[in-house]
Amino acid sequence: MGRTIRSESVGAKIAEWYSCLLSKSYEQAIILKEEVKQLLPAMDPSDKFMAFYSLVEFKHQILVSRYDKNECPEEIEPISEKTEIDHLLKYLYYFVSGQYEFTQERYRSAVKLFRKAERLLEYVNDEAEEAEFYQYIGLVYYRLNHYLIASSYMEQANVLFDRLQYYEPAINCQIITACIHQELNNPEKGEAILKQALERAKGIPIVYGQVLRTLGLNKQGQKKFDEAETYFKRALDIPEHKNTIFGAKSRYNLSNVLFNQGKIEEALPHFQIAKAGAAYYKSKEYNARCLFTEGLHIDKNYDLVDQAIAQLQKEGMDFEVSELAEEAAHFAEKEGNTRLALKYMKVAHGARLYQHTLGVDSVV
């Protein structure tokens, strides 16, 4: 009979693996994951440590896949009621479950789980873990359009990541902070933050591409489509960005600014690639956006525009609804169709009203 390994020893190795995930040291995390898998068959039975392993493995699949739904597991396995779990394990369960909901674009569900995790955060004695929690809850509040709450969490995360010298997540916090300034009608401040982030991101290609894309979005929001085009093209020149879900989004953004400049022939091939990417990555938001673009710019079919907006409304993506409805309204107005322009402005106004009156209590 082989030698039995104490579960505490395996638990220490799992904790080391988990630390690599927090610091975004993915190559080392992959090595440690394999080491842990080799140890498990010889570990003395422990439901608690197996639950710990399952949660870290799930988190590994989410993060290392960079949110590729094709590589993410279908769902997280619930912890058995027979398993004795401490506060830290319960925290991890809620937090990782929230991360999974985030990858599935179920933001209200994600924030409910993050709030449950937050009540257990006092039992987490690790700055890296705290920083990642603040980053994710800030990110989901940003997606729910609660910008001041999101900004507060992002600031806390950024301070901790800078102290720990975790550069990639710190830059990601800067990106979201810049986006918040953009949404609060201060694109100049957002651009200044992004220029700083771009300097810091040199040597981290996937993050450098993300910053370039966000600079493109900043210019797109100001209707400076030619400048946005340049940034999106620069982002797509980076393979580490191009070959991810973020690259598929950049491809869509590029096609959109080209359509808005009347560069139809140049826009079409980029749009087809973006549409295939949205389908491949199973992005509800970008599948709807592609349907919208098809209706507005290609087929000139407002029924498709309505279908796209309805899909986003179903998912509770109120900011996206207001953004696309405004674009449709401006397009209809340019065509001289005041009836349709008024219709879409009402949709945009209703979505903005809902997103700003939606209280925090409704998502906790």
Report d(CA 200, CA 195) in Å as an integer.
9
Between residues 67 and 53, the one the model is more confident about: 53
Domain ranges of the chain: 283-357
At 185, the pLDDT band (50, 70, 90 cuts) reads: very high
Task: Tell me the pLDDT tens digit for each residue of 227-266.
Answer: 999 999 999 999 999 999 999 999 999 999 999 999 999 9
User: Taking a C-beta distance cutoff of 8 angstroms, is the pair 10, 38 a contact?
Assistant: no
DSSP state of 145: T
Does 70 score more than 90 pLDDT? no
pLDDT band at 72 (very low <50, low <70, confident <90, very high): low
Say whether pLDDT at 202 is over 90.
yes
* DSSP code of residue 75: S
Of the candidates 317, 314, 290, 292, the one whose C-alpha atom is nearest the C-alpha of residue 305 is: 292
Of residues 182, 175, 101, 106, the one with CA closest to residue 144: 106
71-75, 142-146, 182-186: least confidently modelled range: 71-75
What's the rounded Cα separation, in Å, for the pair 249 and 253? 6
Task: Indicate whether 357 pLDDT > 60.
Answer: no
Average pLDDT over residues 218-224: 96
> Higher-confidence residue: 70 or 16?
16
- If pLDDT is split at 50, 70 and 90, which confidence band does 179 have? very high
Instruction: Specify the pLDDT at position 84.
Output: 54
Burial 128-156 (b: 16+ CB within 10 A, else e): bbebbbbbbbbbbbbbbbbbebbbebbeb
Q: What is the pLDDT of residue 355?
A: 61
Q: Please tell me the pTM assigned to this model.
A: 0.86
What pLDDT was estimated at residue 68? 56
**DSSP state, residue 46:** -
Extract the tokens encoding 290: 């592609």
- Whether residue 302 has pLDDT greater than 90: yes
> Does pLDDT of 69 surpass 80?
no
Tokens 């810091």 belong to: 200
Sign of torsion over alpha carbons 229, 231, 235, 238: positive
d(CA 113, CA 251): 32
Mean model confidence pLDDT for the chain: 89
Q: Which of 76-80, 140-144, 174-178, 260-264 has the lowest mean pLDDT?
A: 76-80
Percent of the chain with pLDDT over 90: 65
Q: Taking 80 as the threshold, does the pLDDT of residue 305 lie above it?
A: yes
For residue 284, the model assigns a pLDDT of 94
Residue 79 has pLDDT above 90, yes or no: no
Q: Where are the beta strands (DSSP E) in the chain?
A: none
